Structure 1
Amino acid sequence: MSERDGTAGHVDCHVKVLDDGVVERATRAGLDVIVYAPHFTRLPEIRERAETYSSEDLLVVPGREVFTGSWHDRKHVLALGLEEPVPDFIPLEAAMAEFERQDATVLAPHPEFTTVGLEESDVERYGDLIDAIEVFNPKHLPPHNRRARDIAERAELPPFTSSYAHLPRTVGVSHTAFDTAIETETDLLSALEDDIGRRVVYENGVGRWTTTATELAHLVYENTWKKADRLFLSGIEPTHPRHIAYDGRFEDDAVY
């Protein structure tokens, strides 16, 4: 990974984990910012946790990776700058309409990856709302990353990368280096929306492939035993559109 320089804002644009160890690892990697967007966690809780772990050395920005559609046909969209919570398990068009209403910053993580990324046709349809496309993800194999870069280039949308860390050890293995300092959440949203110059930075040695293997193994776990637990044992998700927290606003949009 490149050395940190004072003229750039080094941002891991998407992590799922956050604790003291994650903060230490991110700081050691020379990051200025991480975007914290855990699964199935409501926005107020994400905001509170992000604020708790932010410091002068590391800004933690809250985000929501919304699961649109059903478990069997879901597409992830990462939204920053939300003012109001948006649930999972609503159609893609409903989520995008809500992001537009709130003037959120919208990112397309891992496009066309397994069954959880936006298709190129979705990117074409919502290109005016999407601010950047992830072109490198440590979970990806090289063909996935090449496909993501091609989609971004054809859509003429700016790139970004993240560690997409579901495991603490992955934080910081890839990040986006913006050609401007990022000191506040507003700075980050502006950099993403205004197409500020940036570099995609990632490790490309043995450590990178170890990360890919461990994160893919975790993905298998998430989509087997952990998925079964969520679907059949745990009851209604905190981010389900019929949860009481949403005051019935999204009940008609719920896909199940």
Structure 2
Amino acid sequence: MTAVDLHVKVLDETVVRRAKASGLDVLVYAPHFTQLEDIEKTAERYSDDELLVVPGREVFTGTWRDRRHVLAIGLDEPVPDFITLEAAMAEFDRQNAAVLVPHPSFLTVSLEAKQIERHRDVIDAVETYNPKHWPQHNRRATSIAREFELPAFGSSYAHLPGTVGEVWTAFDREIDDAPDLVEVLRNGASRRPRHRSSVDHYARRALEFAHLGWENSAKKVDRLLLSGQEATHPEQSVYDGRFDDASVY
């Protein structure tokens, strides 16, 4: 059995200690607007014999007003933000990455049922529990996973270090490295989303939901609308112009 937190935004010594103390074996580190190479270096720095940290990319597809987040694990080449959903999915498929749907049908940042149906053959799993969700969001996400017969997963989706270890997905097999994780995700290996249920867990959920206010603040929106300056904008040299035709900014 392997306990995996499939989506965290924060990573430092405190996060690593908390993950180990919570019995996690694997973390997927997928910060926003960070180039893949930098994510890979950070993940390697914090991995050891007790905890495997796997790099991931939650790609911000579409414009700010019509944004859809998709989580890819196992990329060999960088994929930018601010491209169309269709272009991102095609690139994930080309690279044989594991493609996960985080927080489906949640606020204005997620894939809805119609997008999941359109890209069903590329998608490997749907998130059915994270601390930012309200109960109705978890029920809707579970319904979507069942409707499209896609495996479920849970993650802490931790933007705050204290949330790490609150949610995980338990796989029925050993996962020793990043390719192992990609394989079990793509092959639909048996797994079970798990989460804590203490009073502290619900307090941490409230803190994570409150954090959304900062995430969607006017200051951050203004920064995003200057997206040509982002490290993951398609115009950055690391992408060699490959995504110019798919860029939305």
Helix, strand or coil: the match of 2:83?
coil
Q: Cα gap change, 1:48/1:226 in structure 2, threshold over 3 Å: closer, same or farther?
A: farther
- Written as runs of structure 1 = structure 2, the 5 A alignment for 1:1-256 is 8-231=1-224, 236-256=229-249
Separation of aligned partners in 2, 1:52 and 1:166:
19
Helix, strand or coil: the match of 1:70?
coil
Helix, strand or coil: the match of 2:90?
helix
Separation of aligned partners in 1, 2:61 and 2:112:
13
Letter paired with 2:139: R
1:87-139 CA-to-partner distances (Å, cap 9, x unmatched) read 00101001001111111110000001000110001111111100010010110
C-alpha deviation, 1:238, in angstroms: 0.2
Unaligned runs of 5+ in 2: none
1:10-51 CA-to-partner distances (Å, cap 9, x unmatched) read 000000000001000000000000000000000000000000
Superposed CA RMSD:
1.3
Separation of aligned partners in 2, 1:67 and 1:36:
15
Helix, strand or coil: the match of 2:229?
coil
Preserved contact between residue 20 and residue 51 of structure 2 (Cα < 8 Å): yes
Preserved contact between residue 228 and residue 235 of structure 2 (Cα < 8 Å): no
After the TM superposition, which segments of 4 or more aligned residues of structure 1 sit over 2 Å from their partners?
Answer: 231-235
Separation of aligned partners in 2, 1:235 and 1:98:
21
Over the matched positions of the two proteins, sequence identity in percent amounts to 60
Q: Cα gap change, 1:82/1:232 in structure 2, threshold over 3 Å: closer, same or farther?
A: closer
C-alpha deviation, 1:185, in angstroms: 1.0
Stretch moving more, 59-68 or 223-232? 223-232
Separation of aligned partners in 1, 2:213 and 2:76:
33
TM (normalized to structure 1)? Answer: 0.94
Helix, strand or coil: the match of 1:79?
strand
Separation of aligned partners in 2, 1:93 and 1:204:
38
**1:3 — aligned with what?**
none
